[in-house]
Structure 1
Amino acid sequence: MSTRIARLVAASAALALGGAVLVSAPAASAASRNGKCESGEFCYYFNSGNKGSISDFSGSVADYGTAQPSCYDFKGAGNGKGKCVKNAAASVWNRTSKTVRVYYNSNYSGKHQDFKAGTKGNLNSSLKNQNASHQLLTSAPGGCKTDGTNSKLPTTILVYRVSLNRVDRVTFKTYVKNVLPNEWVTSWPKESLRAGAVAVKSYGWYWALHSTRKTSGGQCFDVYDTTSSQVYKPGSAKASTNAAVDATWGTRMARSGKILQAHYCSTTTACGGWVTGDWMSQYGSRDKANAGWSYSKILKAYYNGIVLD
């Protein structure tokens, strides 16, 4: 990517706040969360014994947020309704097909407790009312391998956290949702955000398949969390960008059957020495969306020879 990308987002936020740069809040609750524990969901209960208000999730969440209106909250009827989930749950029901791990800290760290598929249970004494993230554990290969292909999304991606000098294996959708608001201006029109979501996903997907990078300590990774790749900040997801990711999650962008390494930058003229037809202008996507273009038309205008399926 380019340092222009981070400057684009920071500058736009600064203008909106009279020079102060906005720190992104955690994602607002998704529309599909209805306070009912349905098949395929992982659910928290406000009280022990699977009682009280329910907060239902369809995937992993690295940071629940701490205040309304941006936190993940208890939605079901009963004790605790409307309260933020973080550090407030007492029991769970895992209705997914995978083991779910509940963590003491945000970003999947600290003490944890596992709940196998289909099980109900109380959080233990270390985690009751001390829950900060949860993760659906997968059978994705460890080490340097990915379970992705040119036709199948990777389950996870290896992110080098540069300032922390460590590599995190991040659920791929969580990665995309916590990159897009740092690469696109979250108030931009829906079709621009959707075009950005596909580009961000495609770039990460490409490197999950092709990276041979290693840290100085020998750990392999797919992408940096900086503008050397794409800016990834856990807990930065926004409602508008989450909606764009969800709306385009089933869209694959390929050229000659291969996932496209989708470059993009803020300028509307030649950027970074990239060949025209291989990169997208972020401001250009905004302008085209404002002119009524769909995200698919925007992508096809910038990336030559692509197929969206």
Structure 2
Amino acid sequence: MKRTTNILLAGFIAAGSLSLISTKNVSAQLQTIYNTSYPSTIRVAIRAYNNPVSPILYVQTVGFEEYCKDVLPNEWYPSWNQEALKAGAVAVKMFGWYHTLHPVTQSGFTYDVDNTTNYQQFKYLSGQTVTDQAVQDTWNEVYTLPTGEIKELSYRAGLPNRENRGFLSTNIMSQWGSEYFGHVARMLYPNILNLYYPNYLLKFI
């Protein structure tokens, strides 16, 4: 399952009149839901056997929605509670969107993500009915900072069949925790997301 670190925006703004200028410059550079549309496609570097350390074989360009549908069942178990799947769908989408805005070049290949846990597990045409539905149900919803900045929503597995309270308010969602709070605590996905990303807001686009 997904293993990554959360990327945080950091900066220092000078005092006095320069503060306003610096703030404007930072704001102008931000890629937000207000000045950036969903990508139509995403470039996925394919590594052999979905192995994070395998060399890149080629780069596959897929539709962005198809990508999300082909990631979710490989990161969240399709048998899990639908609210957990919806929380996962939002995280998968925001993670992918962020990385389309920050492509990398390696070994002569330029790509946005790869097909492994270096980013998110992607297997082409692996979508299932329940996970596809979770992606569709949340497609017009984004989870962002109050500024609307597009950020990577990080997540990790956590421990099976537990609350995984150590992840709460860390900006890293526990996948098993999302299932616990969806299935056992009967929480809705916006509330599940808020447990992990407390400074974020659910918005419709």
Give the TM-score, by structure 1 length: 0.49
Q: 1:231 & 1:300 partners in 2: Cα distance?
A: 24
2:97 pairs, out of 196, 201, 205, with 205
In structure 1, the partner of 2:149 is 258
1-side partners of 2:65 and 2:153: how far apart? 17
Q: Quick check: 1:300 aligned with 2:187?
A: no
| CA distance in 2 between partners of 1:177 and 1:165 (Å) | 22
Could you tell me which runs of 5 or more consecutive residues in structure 1 were left unpaired when the two chains were aligned.
4-148
**Counterparts in 2 of 1:234-273, with a 5 A limit?**
234-255=124-145, 256-267=147-158, 268=164
Distance 2:149 2:57 in 1: 31
Letter of the 1:2 partner, please give it: R
Letter aligned with residue 223 of structure 1? V
Residue of structure 2 in register with 1:223 after alignment = 113
> How many angstroms does 1:215 deviate by?
2.6
Q: TM-score, normalised by structure 2?
A: 0.73
For residues 232-276 of structure 1, the C-alpha deviation after alignment (integer angstroms, 9 at most, x for no partner) is 0012100010000000000011113111211111112657xxx95
- Quick check: 2:46–2:59 contact (8 Å CA) kept in 1? yes
User: Using the alignment, how far apart are the partners of 1:158 and 1:269 within structure 2?
Assistant: 35
| 1:169 shift after superposition | 1.1
Q: Are residue 277 (structure 1) and residue 174 (structure 2) matched?
A: no
Q: How many percent identity over aligned positions?
A: 38
- In the aligned structure 2, how far is the partner of 1:192 from the partner of 1:175? 19
Structure with max Cα Rg: 1
Q: What code does the residue aligned with 2:155 have?
A: Y
Q: Which structure's residues are more often helix, by fraction?
A: 2
Partner in structure 1 of residue 13 of structure 2: none
Segments of 5+ residues of structure 2 without an aligned counterpart are 5-30, 49-55, 159-163
Partner of 1:127: none
Q: CA RMSD in A?
A: 1.8
Aligned residue pair count: 159
Q: Does the residue aligned with 1:196 lie in a helix, a strand or coil?
A: helix
Quote the Cα distance in structure 2 between the aligned partners of 1:270 and 1:214.
35
Q: Name the residue aligned to 2:39.
A: 154
Q: Deviations over 1:264-303 (max 9, x none)?
A: 11112657xxx95311011111111121111011001111
Picking from 51, 56, 59, the partner of 1:167 is 59
| Cα distance, 1:174 vs structure 2 | 0.3
